[in-house]
């Protein structure tokens, strides 16, 4: 099969012929239709993501959507012809989705909802699972709460805004001036972080009380700002990028709480993979109910132009989620 290989960190991506994998116990062989591109994919390629534990030579690509062509022993939930999607590889020793086929742990998969194309489904797994773990598993977002999503127009941010709204919360989201219309279309109140200090938008949107939940998808100084924006006593901050060193004083003085999300853990350890499949089944129901849908960039990329897709993501030039077409005929 054809696959995109990373032979050395920060080196070129090359298309090569490698053996088609054979599904083992608990695995299914998927003919890949599309692979979503995340900022983390570009960091892995550049060697700036030690936590992903990838080692060249490697096939990158974490998000996958495609069609099952073969099932291994002990698999009962899927059969040949099923449309599936999942966060399935590209980290550790797991083959990624930038290849014509991938043998993946069936626990990581769910059926693609009828409302979505395979391209749309490929845009969701990492973003939707991260948002679910943050807003549902950790923060328990519910009706009547005010939720602030930092980076609301990014892949994770988009999913987070829609998920919080589906659970009945009033949602606000930060972004740059060019992303505010996207945030508005998703149903959140947009906040231009480049021109509005955190203290001002806390006063304006919460009467100075702070947000019940703050979801940080940006990291760095934005996480520090999250500690200032959260509600006193009952507020909760959750971050998908809490990798740096931060002062907890602002959070502590509010008596608020914090938790982090490390979405890759089940893939790297093998523990908890069933939950990823469960989340994607719930996300599929939301998609079928019209409550969650990814915004895709209109540009099209293939295995031969993956480097161009990565460049768009690295430059922050995408107007939606970038997806690589691996076999567009499967979406016909």
Domain boundaries, the chain: 2-123+284-331, 127-260
**Which of 274, 2, 295, 261 has the alpha carbon at shortest distance from 132?**
261
2-123+284-331: CATH architecture? Alpha-Beta Complex (3.90)
If 0-12 CB within 10 Å is exposed, 13-18 middle and 19+ buried, where does residue 187 land? Answer: middle
pLDDT at 331: 87
pLDDT digits (tens, 9 = 90+) for 123-165: 999 999 999 999 999 999 999 999 999 999 999 999 999 999 9
> With DSSP H G I counted as helix, E B as strand and the rest as coil, what are the percentages for the chain, rounded to 5?
35, 25, 40
Task: Output the CA angle 84-85-86, nearest 5 degrees.
Answer: 135
Nearest CA-CA partner of 123 in 30, 34, 33, 36: 36
Quote the pLDDT of residue 316.
87
* DSSP assignment string, 291-320: S--PPBPS--B-GGGHHHHHHHHHTT--SS
State residue 319's pLDDT score. 85
Encode pLDDT of 184-233 as tens digits: 999 999 999 999 999 999 999 999 999 999 999 999 999 999 999 999 99
52 touches 44 (CB < 8 A): yes
Pairwise CA distance, residues 229 & 203, whole Å: 10
Task: Report pLDDT for 332.
Answer: 65
CB 291 within 8 A of CB 164: no
Any residues with CB less than 8 A from the CB of 83 and at least 6 apart, and which?
A: 65, 66, 67, 111, 112, 118, 121
Q: Residue 99 carries which DSSP code? A: B
Peptide bond into 57 cis (omega under 30): yes
Task: Using alpha carbons, list the distances in angstroms from residue 49 to 26, 55, 142, 174, 312.
Answer: 28, 11, 33, 25, 19
Q: Which residues contact 93 (CB under 8 A, 6 or more apart)?
A: 55
Q: What kind of fold does domain 127-260 have according to CATH?
A: Rossmann fold (3.40.50)
What are the start-end ranges of the H helices in 84-220? 118-122, 125-132, 155-166, 180-185, 198-206
CA 209 → CA 139, 143, 200, distances in Å? 18, 18, 12
Say what the alpha-carbon torsion angle 271, 273, 278, 281 is, to the nearest 10 degrees: 170
> Looking at residue 109, what is its pLDDT?
98
Query: Looking at residue 309, what is its pLDDT?
Result: 97
Regions of the chain with pLDDT less than 70: 332
């Amino acid at each position: 099969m054809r696959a995109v290989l990373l032979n050395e960190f920060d080196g070129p991506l090359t298309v090569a012929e490698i053996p088609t994998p054979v599904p083992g116990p608990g695995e299914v062989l998927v003919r890949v239709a599309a692979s979503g591109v995340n900022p983390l994919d570009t960091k892995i390629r550049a060697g700036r993501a030690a936590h992903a534990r990838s080692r060249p030579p490697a096939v990158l690509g974490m998000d996958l959507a495609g069609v099952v062509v073969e099932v291994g022993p002990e698999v009962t939930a899927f059969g040949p012809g099923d449309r599936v999607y999942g966060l399935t590889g590209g980290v550790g020793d797991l083959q990624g989705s930038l290849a014509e086929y991938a043998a993946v742990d069936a626990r990581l998969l769910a059926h693609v909802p009828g409302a979505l194309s395979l391209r749309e489904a490929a845009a969701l797994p990492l973003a939707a699972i991260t948002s679910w773990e943050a807003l549902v598993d950790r923060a328990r977002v519910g009706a009547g709460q005010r939720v602030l999503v930092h980076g609301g127009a990014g892949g994770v941010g988009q999913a987070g805004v829609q998920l919080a709204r589906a659970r009945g919360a009033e949602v606000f989201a930060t972004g740059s001036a060019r992303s505010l219309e996207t945030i508005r279309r998703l149903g959140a109140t947009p906040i231009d972080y480049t021109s509005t200090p955190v203290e001002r938008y806390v006063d304006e949107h919460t009467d100075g009380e702070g947000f019940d939940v703050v979801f940080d998808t940006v990291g760095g100084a934005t996480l520090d700002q999250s500690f200032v924006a959260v509600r006193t006593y009952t507020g909760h901050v959750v971050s998908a990028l809490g990798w740096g060193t931060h002062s907890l004083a602002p959070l502590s003085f509010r008596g608020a709480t914090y938790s982090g999300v490390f979405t890759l853990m089940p893939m790297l350890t093998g523990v908890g993979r069933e939950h990823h499949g469960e989340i994607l089944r719930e996300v599929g129901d939301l998609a079928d109910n019209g409550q969650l849908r990814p915004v895709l960039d209109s540009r099209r990329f293939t295995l031969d132009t993956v480097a161009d897709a990565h460049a768009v993501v690295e430059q922050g030039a995408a107007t939606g989620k970038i997806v690589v077409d691996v076999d567009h005929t499967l979406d016909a």
